[in-house]
Amino acid sequence: MALVSTEKMFEMAYNNGYAVGAFNVNNMEITQGIVSAIAEEKAPLILQISRGARQYASMSYLKAIIDVAVKENPDIPICMHLDHGDTFESCKQCVDDGFTSVMIDASHHPFEENIRMTKEVVDYAHKHGVVVEAELGQLGGIEEDVVGVSADDIANHLTDPNQAIEFVEKTGCDSLAVACGTSHGAFKFKSAPALAFDVIQGVADKLAGFPLVMHGSSSVLKEFKDLINKYGGDMPDAMGVPEDAISKAAKMAVCKVNIDTDLRMALTAKIRQVFAETPGEFDPRKYLGPGRDAIQKMVKRKLHVLGCAGKAAECS
């Protein structure tokens, strides 16, 4: 099976009450850990590449790794998605490079400029058979070059369901990332968050059948935070989105859930553990391997949180 778009995935996810995991990739081990979990659980998959990932590994390496994953898993529908494209040029380049989905994030611009930029990307991408994700409202936190609003100001930048209708109609985007109280990064919240499910439902009521996306949805799992802190790290206040809240959103109109920080923490925790327990270790395979295994185990858990385990066949 060649790379696919998210169109069929989102149709099935919306109709059957689950969400597809969108996992960010930066190197071979992260990708292998994700894909091996997906293959075992028979789930559809979105592999996301950010601007930072392209700068770190170069597009040619990342595309080659993903091509191998697609070739070795012909029964698994896999989409290659641009995460947080910030200009028309960056989105155009990814369309030209063979991505099957791109995100244009102009949410930090005024409403009318967000519409203009999004429509420009949609017009180009659709001519090449590529779907487009857009964003309305603003999240908190920091992810690479994406700097959100302050933690105290998140509630003032939630997606307006009434604006969502106009935005989707004028841009023609295929999915919409909504601001519903989530936040980027590991230090998302000062206390346990309460997601704005009324926003998700409000947008769903206005845009029946339209797929929504939830960014900033890593849970900052305690097992990895504790390992990192045990072996020399300093993440005492790291807090993410509770998994039961993610499961609830996935049963609503949210068809795609972005996960990046949990991948980083799983890999880092295991590398720190290996270095602490075997300080003479210098073989990268001996610490990247356990990191890859931790990612696989974590992703398998997430697929059940999202409800997409076993759904690969219906999304093909």
Q: Which helix (H) or strand (E) holds 14?
A: helix 7-16
176 vs 180: CA distance, rounded Å: 12
Among 238, 233, 234, smallest CA distance to 191 is for 238
70 vs 76: CA distance, rounded Å: 8
316 vs 49: CA distance, rounded Å: 22
64 vs 69: CA distance, rounded Å: 9
Catalytic choice (67, 75, 83, 293): 83
Among 131, 147, 114, smallest CA distance to 216 is for 147
151 vs 142: CA distance, rounded Å: 11
Task: Indicate if 160 belongs to the active site.
Answer: no
Contacts (Cβ under 8 Å, ≥6 apart) of 116: none
Cβ atoms within 10 A of the Cβ of 110, count? 9
Q: Looking at this protein, which amino acid is placed at residue 15?
A: N
Question: Which sequence positions are flagged as catalytic?
Answer: 83
